[in-house]
Amino acid sequence: MARILVTDGMAAEGLAILKQGGHTVESRKLTPDELVKCIGEYDGLVIRSATQVTAAVVKAGAPKLKVVGRAGVGVDNVEVPAATSAGLIVMNAPLGNIISAAEHTIGMIFASARHIPQAHAKLTKGEWDKKSFVGVELHGKTLGIIGLGKIGKHVAEVMQAAGMEIVAFDPFLSPEVAKELRIESVDLDTLLRRADVITVHTPLTPQTRNLINADRLKMVKKGVRIINVARGGIADEAAVIEAVKAGHIIAAFDVFGEEPLPAGSPFYGLPNTIITPHLGASTEEAQVKVSVDIANQFNAFFSSGKIINAVNVQLRVDPAIDGYLLAAEHLGAALAQTLDSPLKGIEVIASGDLAKYDIKPLAVAALKGALSKISDQVVNFVTVAQIAKERGIGMTSSARDVGTGPSLTVKAITADGERIIAGGLVGSQLRVLQYNEYPIDLPIGGHLLIMEYPDRPGMVGKYGSLLGENKINIARMEVSRIDGRGDALVLLTLDDPVPGPVFDQIVATVKPNKAYRISI
């Protein structure tokens, strides 16, 4: 069988599973140079966060090395593009820490409600102080969950048992799934105003960065508990600190924008605050689970070629339409970032020559692109169908025998209607040819700004000046009108993303009917 190298340690249970699979397993601590020298002798490599799988390691491992497995979620220490180019499969174990992260969140909720760490710290100094630590009961209170993936759902289930009412904000939570979970689906502003405790469980994206900011903190109840065991950067830490100092909120944070927290961080010594050093996945069980998961995935791969939780696996599609796979994913990702209501389904429609082929893989790619922008789970071609099923999102594909118009159309079906984006490939370049009813013709990629506003003279100058003042360069621009009157649609591709404050300034100046920031 296979020869497998383990460089960052692995739970005994995982090692046993690999050996039961008939593999030769070697655990070694290696320097980067030592790893490059010996990696070509192995079929598989199991790592955690310490080992850096660089392009040099990938090159040295070829052609014998077939798979790299990260016993955990993140693969930031793997040069995935280099691995993909070399045909090296990169797997991770995305589900092993779900319960641990959820339980840490739940612990933070209870600890903040009863001031447990602060009371403990004072009592260890010999001070018996009951009056300073009067807490609140959670029973009967409202818990607001931002992002209802697997972690958020487990938190909801446990806190429902504790007697809390659950409201959730997740743009892609269907009403049917919410009803089944006995959760009220609300918009973000409503959640902020109603919740007694707020916890976030979203990925960190341009849309979620500083999601909890100074303006939104003005909406919350005085004394609300805000919990973040998700990602540093989702909350504007400076705004949170000021709100804590003002006595408006209580914070419990496990993750931070800069880790480890630097010396002199204002979080140190901050009253009414609980801070922990990114412990969400730090349980014995989670460490065992990720090791067992990656070991089972290795066994499946080496025994039958089955690929599980590979972050860089492409679907097998007809070579004639292979270029459209990434195009469909980009169109789905762009469209998802312009939705204002829960997604119920994704439909991909092919026309012209593209309609001759099996386009179901393109629908999967479009759905993957959409979910990757809003899910707190790892979305890849292995997990996308299950994630969509859990969220109650359907997927269909169809073909039209039409020789003109966009080759590929992605339609999002939402609770409020439908929204579409369509395009085609010119050479290897994806060009967007339609957004809703507006005809356009513009390459898509990188950072985009889309606005729909009443057409009147001087508008281009207004937002162009604001972007220029903030040193954001416009790479390409397309303005579209339907009948020469009424509304106009502008789509800008930019060299850099639009920061939240700049976006807010543009919206306040232009007063568009709709505006979206998009990153591909």
Q: How is the chain split into domains, by residue range?
A: 3-95+285-304, 98-275, 316-422, 441-520
Instruction: Name the maximum alpha-carbon separation found in the chain.
Output: 82
pLDDT for position 76: 73
Question: Which residue from 170, 148, 146, 513 is spatially nearest to 343, judged by alpha carbons?
Answer: 170
pLDDT for position 337: 93
Q: CATH classification of 441-520, choosing from 3.30.70.260, 3.30.470.20, 3.30.200.20, 3.90.550.10?
A: 3.30.70.260
Which active-site residues does the annotation give? 231, 259, 278
pLDDT for position 425: 85
Tell me: the pLDDT tens digits for 325-381? 888 999 999 999 999 888 999 999 998 888 888 888 899 989 999 998 878 776 767
Rounded distance between C-alpha atoms, residue 417 and residue 406, angstroms: 21
What are the residues whose beta carbons fall under 8 Å from the beta carbon of 128, sequence distance 6 or more? none
Residues of the chain with pLDDT > 90, as a percent, come to: 69
Tell me: the pLDDT tens digits for 147-204? 998 899 999 999 999 999 999 999 888 888 899 999 999 999 999 999 999 999 988 8
Rounded distance between C-alpha atoms, residue 360 and residue 72, angstroms: 30
Rounded distance between C-alpha atoms, residue 336 and residue 205, angstroms: 13
pLDDT for position 385: 81
Of 404 and 502, the one with more pLDDT: 502
Range from 195-204, 418-427, 470-479 carrying the lowest mean pLDDT: 418-427
pLDDT for position 382: 61
Does this model's pTM top 0.85? My answer is no
CATH superfamily of 98-275: NAD(P)-binding Rossmann-like Domain (3.40.50.720)
Assess whether the region 3-95+285-304 and the region 98-275 belong to the same CATH fold: yes
Which fold does the domain 3-95+285-304 belong to in CATH? Answer: Rossmann fold (3.40.50)
pLDDT for position 197: 98
The conformation of residue 212, written as its DSSP 8-state character, comes to B
Q: CATH classification of 316-422, choosing from 1.10.287.1120, 1.10.3720.10, 3.30.1330.90, 3.30.479.10?
A: 3.30.1330.90
| Strand 273-275 to 249-253 pairing | parallel
